[in-house]
A and B are shown apart, each in its own frame.
Chain A
Amino acid sequence: SQQGEEDPQALSIQEGENATMNCSYKTSINNLQWYRQNSGRGLVHLILIRSNEREKHSGRLRVTLDTSKKSSSLLITASRAADTASYFCATLPRDSNYQLIWGAGTKLIIKP
């Protein structure tokens, strides 16, 4: 069963614009992670936010977490063509033995 659900499923924007993706989940979590997958390749970890954190930054990435709404957002500022990829959220449920639960992903296309 999937815990995370990303929204939108697909997003197409112009280079230089900001991209926002959302993730909703169902159960209490220890942390929420975002990963990027370039077409057909392995996933790469981007950022982790813990349940007691509300916002985190890494370069052009900004992640927020609202545990009361069980949702998170990933903002990519000043998008570049190289940001074209699928983005997945993964949650570590509070009662989990380190099994991540994955969403279906958002496919982001940056148009030059």
Chain B
Amino acid sequence: DADVTQTPRNRITKTGKRIMLECSQTKGHDRMYWYRQDPGLGLRLIYYSFDVKDINKGEISDGYSVSRQAQAKFSLSLESAIPNQTALYFCATGTSNEETQYFGPGTRLLVL
């Protein structure tokens, strides 16, 4: 089984809808991250969490919110989706002792 899973893998929604992307991990890592990837722009950090009670904004948090329900779960919500939020979204995990990050398979989101 994959260590970092994301659901759904693909999602099509309409402008104005609220949607939630979910991430779960079995690695036991304390740190979790949400990124978005647009063609030609690499990864941009949306939100990150260093433990269950810690939530921090990243570079592009506007229009997004997150919830760290448990150490293993970190969900990303788009309150009112807009077309320029169409992107590939990745969840990643890490630890305070290790500087590398471990990625989920991604969620491809299309906002019409």
Seen from chain A, the residues whose Cβ lies within 8 Å of a Cβ on chain B are 1-2, 4, 9, 30-31, 33, 40-45, 48, 88, 90, 92, 97-100, 102-105
B94 adjacent to A40 (CB under 8 Å): no
B105 adjacent to A98 (CB under 8 Å): no
With CB as the reference atom, state the residue of chain A lying closest to B56: A97
Which residues of chain B are near A33, meaning CB under 8 Å?
A: 99-100
Seen from chain B, the residues whose Cβ lies within 8 Å of a Cβ on chain A are 4, 31, 40-45, 48, 50, 56, 58-59, 88, 90, 92, 94, 96, 99-106, 108
A92 adjacent to B99 (CB under 8 Å): yes
A98 adjacent to B42 (CB under 8 Å): no
| Nearest-Cβ distance from residue A56 to partner chain B, whole angstroms | 13
* Distance, CA A100 to CA B40, complexed state (A): 18
Number of A-B residue pairs, CB cutoff 8 Å, is: 54
Which residues of chain B are near A4, meaning CB under 8 Å?
A: 42
* Cβ contact of A43, chosen from B44, B45, B59, B103, cutoff 8 A: B103
Which residues of chain B are near A1, meaning CB under 8 Å?
A: 59
Given known A-B contacts A31-B99, A40-B88, A42-B90, A98 and B31 have beta carbons under 8 A apart: yes
| Nearest-Cβ distance from residue B93 to partner chain A, whole angstroms | 11
With CB as the reference atom, state the residue of chain B lying closest to A41: B105
| Nearest-Cβ distance from residue A36 to partner chain B, whole angstroms | 11
A99 adjacent to B58 (CB under 8 Å): yes
Which residues of chain B are near A40, meaning CB under 8 Å?
A: 88, 106, 108
* Distance, CA A97 to CA B48, complexed state (A): 11
* Cβ contact of A45, chosen from B43, B44, B48, B101, cutoff 8 A: B101
